[in-house]
A and B are shown apart, each in its own frame.
Chain A
Amino acid sequence: EAGVVQSPRYKIIEKKQPVAFWCNPISGHNTLYWYRQNLGQGPELLIRYENEEAVDDSQLPKDRFSAERLKGVDSTLKIQPAELGDSAVYLCASSSIWGYNEQFFGPGTRLTVL
């Protein structure tokens, strides 16, 4: 079984530039999560999708962050414009309704904002 796929793995941009991250969950997983992990911290949820519906986006900074999961499969997370404080690892995870709340994580995208 292929795991959660994320791209790119690394991204370096200058502040005020836009950036986008892509995630393809495990086939058949209806729930998709985006987490942000700052250096030395645990992951923090940004947004959770059930199929194509965002059911929890309370931690998403909506002034600059946006996300979509148009067909209920893959998802894109965008930051525009990026700020220095956005430097972090962005993790995507997915889970199945049959999976007893086990989340499967992708390798993450390490973003550096200069």
Chain B
Amino acid sequence: AQRVTQPEKLLSVFKGAPVELKCNYSYSGSPELFWYVQYSRQRLQLLLRHISRESIKGFTADLNKGETSFHLKKPFAQEEDSAMYYCALSRGSGNTGKLIFGQGTTLQVKP
């Protein structure tokens, strides 16, 4: 069965510190992996997807198929990064729909 695991419910760091939000998945095929973010009082929105291989707001994530991981990283955290982060998996490519979400990790960046 497909599954996404985010082992940390809360990650608290100081401003300027490095951040790594962990995500592990189980899927036998070739998944698409995403990170979605929800800032306070805002709706859930896409942060980045692995196929784009881009940096968004200083965040990057590399798909490691050997370790079945898709950890989200940022070298220097900012207070505005405080939010709830969800890792999600989609089967196949293109608009095939169903996203399977992890439980989410709250990132708290302290001044």
Please give me the residue from chain A that is nearest to B41 by CB atom. Answer: A107
The number of residue pairs between A and B whose CB atoms lie closer than 8 Å in the complex comes to: 61
Can you list 11 A-B pairs with a CB-CB distance of less than 8 A? A4-B43, A31-B97, A42-B101, A45-B99, A45-B100, A100-B49, A100-B51, A101-B32, A101-B34, A101-B97, A108-B43
Type the 1/0 row for B50-63, where 1 means its CB is closer than 8 Å to any CB of A.
Answer: 01000000000000
Judge whether B95 and A44 touch: CB under 8 Å.
no
Contact B102 A101 (CB under 8 A): no
Interface size in chain A (residues, C-beta < 8 A): 27
User: Please, how many angstroms separate the alpha-carbon atoms of A55 and B102 in the complex?
Assistant: 23
Question: Which B residues lie within 8 Å of A108 (CB)?
Answer: 43
Are B44 and A91 neighbours in the complex by a CB distance under 8 Å? Answer: yes
Q: What is the total number of residues of chain B having a CB less than 8 Å from a CB of chain A? A: 25
Within 8 A of B (CB), among A77-114: 91, 95-97, 99-108
- Chain B, Cβ-Cβ closest to A107: B43
